[in-house]
Structure 1
Amino acid sequence: MACISFSSETGNNSGNQMRPHYKPNHIPDPNYVRILDTTLRDGEQSPGAAMTPHQKLNIARQLAKLGVDVIEAGFPCSSKDDFAAVKMIAQEVGSNVDDDGYVPVIAGVARCNEKDIEIVWEAVKGAKRPRISTFIATSEIHMKHKLKKTKEEVLDIACRMVMFARSLGCDDVQFVPEDAARSEKEFLYEILGEVIKAGATTIDIPDTVGIAMPWEFGKLIADIKTNTHGIENVVIVTHCHNDLGLAVANTIMGARAGARQLEVTMNGIGERAGNAALEEVVMALKCSGLDVFDGLYTTINTEHILNTSKMVEEYTNMHLQPHKALVGANAFIHESGWMLKHKATYEIILSESIGLERSNEIGIVLGKFRYVM
C-alpha cells in the first residue's frame, strides 16, 4: 500500500534516515530531496500579503523548526524593509546551528545585475550557509517584450553575473532561467551549461506562468538532465506556479524525473494563483515516497506543519478555504460513519502527523448523508 500505516510516526518520513551533509552543488544521498521554502519571497508577492520584518523573522524561525533546507528570505533590493528582514534572518536563523548540525541555507533573490547581487550578498553573508539566487528570463516572449535582448545578450549577462556572484565570496549560487517552461529547449540547455561552467551550483527550472502539464514538466526536467553539459555537477530544482492548479503535480513529476530541490510555499500562497504548497508536496512524499517515488524522502518535521500554516495565514491575512488539503478546517472532518470502524477507511494519514490534536478523536460530524458510495 502506498500510504503510511497507522502506527507511531516521527516528523521525518524517512524513519532513521538523516539529513545528508550539506554541499551546495551535490547531495550525497540520491534519494534525498531538499525543500526550499519561498513563503517570505514569492509567497509575499500575493496581493495584500505584505509582512513586517518582525513577522518575517518569526516565520523564518518557524520554518527552521519545520526543518526546511533552504529559506528564501526575500528580495533585498526591493525595499529597505526587505533588506533588513533578510539580513536579520541570515544573522539569527541562519546562524543558529542545532545539536545535529542543522542550519538552514538563507537565500536572497537578485536580478541579473551587479547592484542587485551586491545587495543580496550584503544581506545574506551573515548566515552560516548564504546563497545568492539570480534570475533572467530565457523564453522568447520575455526576451523580446520584457528584456528587449537577444539570446546572445541574455547568455552573456547570465554567465557574467554568476561569475560576479562567485567573485564576492559566495560559493552557493543558484541560477534561474525565468519562464523556463516556455523557453526553447536548445537555448535552455546551452545557457544552463554555460552558467554551470561559470560557477552556478544549483539550477532552478521554473514554470513561471503555470502552463505546463505534469508529464510535460517531468519530461522537461528529464531532457535537461540528458542534454545539459555539466548538469551532473549541480542540483536541479523545480519552481512551479499554480495558474492551472497543477503546481503540486508538476513539482512531484519534477522530483520523479530527477529534481532534488523542490521550491514551495506554506499554504501554497504566491503571485496570482500561488505556488506549490509545501504541506501537500511534503506529505505526498511522506505518504508514497517509498513505493511510488522509489525511496525519495525529506527530513521535514511534519508535526510543525499546522502551526506554520496558521502563522502564515495570520500574518498574511490570507484565509484558507475550509477544504484546503491537509491544513483546511475540514481536512480531517467526516460525515461517514465507517470512520467509527477504523480510521484508515477514510484517512490516509494521522492528523497528529501534521500537528493536529483533535478533541473529537474520530472527527465525525452529523450531516445529510448517512452512507458513502
Structure 2
Amino acid sequence: MTAASRSDLIIFDTTLRDGEQSPGAAMTREDKLRIARQLERLGVDVIEAGFAAASEGDFAAIRAIAETIETATVCSLARANERDVRRAGESIAPAPKKRIHTFIATSPIHMEKKLRMTPDEVVAHAVKAIELARTYTDDVEFSAEDAVRSDLDFLVRVFEAAIEAGATTLNVPDTVGYSTPAQWGERMAALIARTRGAERVVWSTHCHNDLGMAVANSLSAVLAGARQVECTINGLGERAGNAALEEIVMAVRTRRDVFGVDTRIDTTQIVPTSKLVSTITGYPVQPNKAIVGANAFAHESGIHQDGVLKHRETYEIMRAEDVGWSTNKLSLGKLSGRNAFRSRLTELGIDLASEEALNDAFRRFKDLADKKREIFDEDIQALVSEVHEERVDRYKLVSLKVCSETGEVPTAQMVIAVDGVEQSAQAQGAGPVDAAFVCIESILHSGANLQLYSVNNITSGTDAQGEVNVRLERAGRIVTGQGADTDIVVASAKAYLNALDRLQQPAARAHPQHEDV
C-alpha cells in the first residue's frame, strides 16, 4: 500500500511541544499529564510530549507521560545530534509505543546562517541521527526544517537518505507559515513522486499559521498524499500558531467525499479537550473560532434560525453534540462526599497523586458549591488547575475588599500571604480590578509589565465562574497566570498572583529551533 492510498489519517498532536512554545503557555508536569490523558481519550495517534533536551523539567514530563499513556505513541523531539537523540530515547523508554522525531534545517538560509553547515554535512547529520534513534525505537520520524524554502532537489536527496537510514515517517514542515495551499500541495506531490522509497514511509505535514493558511495547507498536503498531519488543540503554537487539530479532523470527516480519509478521533471529546487546554495554558478560545468557539453553532439571523428549526441541515453541516457541545453537569452538590468527588475526577481523567492535593481540591469544590447552584465539568477542570502538587505558592490571597461607586474612585483593601507572612495594603485605581492590581504591586514591587488581561465565563449563567488570564513580562520573560472565581475581581487578583508565582520559578529551557546543532 502506498502512502497516498492509505484511508486512515494519522493525527500527530504537538500541543505539549510546539503549542507550549506560545508566549506564557509553559506547563507543569502535572499540566502536561492532564492534557496527555485527555489527548489519549480524544484518540490522537501520536502525542509529541516535548523536547527532552530542553530541560530537566521537559525530560521528566516526557518520562511521566511515557509511563502513563497506553494506547497512543509517545514522541520526543530531538535535533540531529547525539545528545538530543539519546535524551529523547531515554525519556520515552517506558512507553509501550514510542517514537523519536529528529530534525535538521534544509533551506539555504538556515544551513548558511544558523547551522553553518554545507549540504553534505546536513545530510550526514540527518543520517547519523536517524541511525542512532533506531537503536532506541523502530518508529523514527525525520523532519526537514524550513522545507518550504528548501531546494526541491536537495529535499529529495535528504529524504532518500533518511529512508535508507531507517526513518519510517518523513515530515515536510512549513516552519515559517509562508506557503499557500496550491504551492504546498504541489510540493508534497512532487516529493512523493520523486523520492525513491516513498511508498515505504508515511508522509507528514506540519504547517504554521503566519498567513492564516495552516489548516488549508495541511489539507492540501493530504490531497497530495500526506497521511499524517501535525497539529495542536485550538491551533496553539508560537507566533500565529499551528494547524488546528479540531479543524483538520472535522474537515476530513465532514468532507470524506473530497479527502477520502478519516481519523480515529472520538470527536465528542474535541470540545472538552479544547476547554482543558485553554484553561491550563491561559489562551482563551475566540467565540467565532471554528468547531470549538462559543458561537460555532449559534444562529443570530432569523432566516437561519427558522431554517435550522425546520431542518438542521439547512444551515448546519455538523451536529454540535458530535464535537462535544453538550451540558456536562456534575451531579454533585455541597452535600456530596469525597468519594463521589474522587469518582468524578477519575471520569474526567484527573489524577491527583497526593491525598493533600485531593483534599485541597475537595475543599475548593465545597466552597464553590456554596456559591453556585449547578457545578459543571468545566468548573472542576478550572478548580483542579488551581491545585499545585509540586510547589507551594509564595503568594496567596487572604482577603480582598473593593469599593466601586459611580462618581467615586474605586478602592481596594487586600491582605496577601507572602511566604506565609501576611501583608496588607490599600490602593485606588481606574476600576476595581486596577485597584486590586495596584494593591498587589504596592506589596510585592514585582517590576512586571501587564501585557494581557482577559476574562471569560467558564460556564453559562449569572452565577458562572469567571476565568481570568493575566500575562506578565519581566526582563524578557513572559508568563501567564490564571484565576477562577464567581467574583471577577477575586479571580483577577488570583490570576495576577499566580503569574507572579510563575515568574519566581526557574526558566532554564532551550528552544529547539533557536539552538545550534
TM-score by length of 2: 0.61
Structure 1, 69-78 or 340-349: larger mean CA deviation: 340-349
Say which of 260, 265, 271 aligns to 1:300: 265
Q: After superposition, what is the alpha-carbon deviation per residue over 1:183-212, rounded to whole angstroms, capped at 9, x for unaligned?
A: 000000001001110111110000000101
Query: Is residue 66–residue 94 contact of structure 2 (8 Å, CA) maintained in 1?
Result: yes
Tell me what 1:186 maps to.
Answer: 153
Where do 1:252-271 residues align within 5 Å?
252-271=219-238
1:343 and 2:319 correspond: no
1:321 and 2:290 correspond: no
Query: Is residue 4–residue 224 contact of structure 2 (8 Å, CA) maintained in 1?
Result: no
Task: Report how far residue 335 of structure 1 moved.
Answer: 1.0
Say which of 22, 31, 37 aligns to 2:13: 37
Task: Report how far residue 341 of structure 1 moved.
Answer: 2.2
Tell me what 2:116 maps to.
Answer: 148
Where do 1:237-252 residues align within 5 Å?
237-252=204-219
Identity of aligned residues (%): 52
Q: After superposition, what is the alpha-carbon deviation per residue over 1:152-204, rounded to whole angstroms, capped at 9, x for unaligned?
A: 111111111111111x2311110010001110000000010011101111100
Where do 1:278-289 residues align within 5 Å?
278-289=245-256
Query: Is residue 3–residue 225 contact of structure 2 (8 Å, CA) maintained in 1?
Result: no
Tell me what 1:78 maps to.
Answer: 54
1:110 and 2:78 correspond: yes
Structure 1: gaps of 5 or more residues: 1-24, 97-102, 360-373
- Give, in whole Å, the separation in 1 of the partners of 2:284 and 2:62: 25
- Give, in whole Å, the separation in 1 of the partners of 2:88 and 2:187: 29
Task: Report how far residue 336 of structure 1 moved.
Answer: 2.3
Q: After superposition, what is the alpha-carbon deviation per residue over 1:61-106, rounded to whole angstroms, capped at 9, x for unaligned?
A: 000001000000000111111111100101111xx2xxxxxx1111
**Relative to structure 1, is the Cα distance of residues 216 and 125 closer, same or farther in structure 2, using a 3 angstrom cutoff?**
same
**Relative to structure 1, is the Cα distance of residues 128 and 358 closer, same or farther in structure 2, using a 3 angstrom cutoff?**
closer
Q: After superposition, what is the alpha-carbon deviation per residue over 1:328-372, rounded to whole angstroms, capped at 9, x for unaligned?
A: 11111111232222222221100000110269xxxxxxxxxxxxx
Tell me what 2:189 maps to.
Answer: 222
**Relative to structure 1, is the Cα distance of residues 135 and 233 closer, same or farther in structure 2, using a 3 angstrom cutoff?**
same
Query: Is residue 11–residue 46 contact of structure 2 (8 Å, CA) maintained in 1?
Result: yes
Amino acid at match of 1:348: I
Tell me what 1:20 maps to.
Answer: none
Amino acid at match of 2:324: G
**Relative to structure 1, is the Cα distance of residues 26 and 312 closer, same or farther in structure 2, using a 3 angstrom cutoff?**
farther
Task: Report how far residue 125 of structure 1 moved.
Answer: 1.3
Structure 2: gaps of 5 or more residues: 329-517
Q: After superposition, what is the alpha-carbon deviation per residue over 1:14-65, rounded to whole angstroms, capped at 9, x for unaligned?
A: xxxxxxxxxxx98797111100000000000011111111010010000000
Structure 1 SS opposite 2:53: helix
Query: Is residue 3–residue 199 contact of structure 2 (8 Å, CA) maintained in 1?
Result: no
Say which of 26, 36, 55 aligns to 1:50: 26
**Relative to structure 1, is the Cα distance of residues 120 and 250 closer, same or farther in structure 2, using a 3 angstrom cutoff?**
same
**Relative to structure 1, is the Cα distance of residues 106 and 29 closer, same or farther in structure 2, using a 3 angstrom cutoff?**
farther
Answer 1 or 2: higher relative contact order, Cα 8 Å, separation at least 6: 1
- Runs of 4+ residues deviating >4 angstroms: 25-29
**Relative to structure 1, is the Cα distance of residues 187 and 280 closer, same or farther in structure 2, using a 3 angstrom cutoff?**
same
- Give, in whole Å, the separation in 2 of the partners of 1:90 and 1:254: 30
- Give, in whole Å, the separation in 2 of the partners of 1:28 and 1:112: 27
- Give, in whole Å, the separation in 2 of the partners of 1:242 and 1:308: 21
Query: Is residue 3–residue 226 contact of structure 2 (8 Å, CA) maintained in 1?
Result: no
Tell me what 2:126 maps to.
Answer: 158
**Relative to structure 1, is the Cα distance of residues 152 and 72 closer, same or farther in structure 2, using a 3 angstrom cutoff?**
same
Tell me what 1:128 maps to.
Answer: 96
RMSD: 1.5
